[in-house]
Structures are given as C-alpha cells and as structure tokens.
C-alpha cells in the first residue's frame, strides 16, 4: 500500500504567470540558435496565417514558476528520477499574451518491474492565456524507488 496524501489528487494550484515579450522570445531563440522568422521577423510573420510574431512553443520552459503544484507526500523510496514527459501544444502564444500556469497531481500509482517496486507520481501543468484558452499541457511522471546503498 502506498502512503500519500490522497486529498491533493486533481487539486489545481496556480504556479505563477509570465508575459510573452519580444525580449523573452529573442533571448529564448538566441539561447537555442533558433532562427525561424515566424518568431523573429514581424514582417514575415504578418504574412503567415498567424498574422504576426508568435513565441516558440516551449518558451514556458524558460520561466521559473513557484513549484509544480500540491505535494502528495509520497512515503516511499530513497531515490527519484523523471520517468517521462509529454508536452501538448494546443495554441500559439503571441506577443503580449499573459500565460498563467496551473499544476496538479493527476495520479499516484504503484508498479512492480524487473528491478522491484516503483511508485509513480503523475503531475500535470496547464498553461492558459489571458483569454482562458489552454495553450499547452505538460504531463510528467516522477518515479520513486528504493535503492540499496
């Protein structure tokens, strides 16, 4: 039986917000060597279906938010590692958008593999623009294991 705080499952917590600025886009693109004119050239971007510059889809990874949401207080294991992550980009982020991030623990479950017992904590972070539209969803699994020293 896994020991954890079941009351936090599905409870969404606001993690913070950021505004999509030209400076943020340019800094992100420079750090990655990204040269797509859709992100960097207003004249070019106006001629696309977007009608103007948009942000690279994963620009939110450059923002430090206040944690990842509620803590399920899993009472298992002495080691943790990322078991996987999925990012769904739903809508373009545009210059001037304010993006709010909301985190939650979606589920906690146990599995036994070849190397023993593992507990998975699945978190979801939802990014929403000022119009209430979800622009991205991120799901990640943290694996808790008992490792012998």
Instruction: Encode pLDDT of 60-76 as tens digits.
Output: 998 999 888 999 999 99
d(CA 48, CA 37): 10
d(CA 143, CA 5): 17
Q: Whole-model pTM?
A: 0.91
For the chain, list the strands marked E by DSSP: 13-19, 79-89, 98-113, 116-128, 134-145
User: How many CB atoms lie under 10 A from the CB of residue 29?
Assistant: 17
- Structural domain spans, the chain: 6-145
Instruction: Encode pLDDT of 9-63 as tens digits.
Output: 999 999 999 999 999 999 999 999 999 999 999 999 999 999 999 999 999 998 9
Q: Which CATH architecture has domain 6-145?
A: Roll (3.10)
Higher confidence at residue 141 or residue 115? Answer: 141
């Amino acid at each position: 039986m896994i020991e954890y705080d079941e009351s936090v499952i599905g409870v969404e917590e606001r993690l913070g917000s950021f505004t999509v600025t030209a400076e943020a886009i340019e800094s992100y693109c420079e750090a990655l060597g990204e040269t797509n004119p859709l992100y960097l050239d207003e004249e070019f971007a106006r001629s696309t279906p977007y009608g103007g510059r948009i942000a690279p889809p994963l620009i939110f990874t450059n923002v430090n938010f206040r944690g990842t949401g509620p803590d399920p207080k899993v009472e298992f294991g002495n080691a943790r590692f990322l078991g996987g992550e999925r990012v769904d980009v739903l809508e373009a982020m545009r210059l001037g958008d304010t993006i709010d991030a909301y985190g939650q623990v979606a589920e906690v479950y146990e599995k036994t593999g070849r190397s023993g017992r593992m507990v998975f904590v699945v978190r979801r972070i939802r990014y929403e623009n000022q119009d209430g539209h979800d622009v991205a969803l991120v799901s990640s699994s943290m694996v808790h294991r008992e490792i012998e020293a």
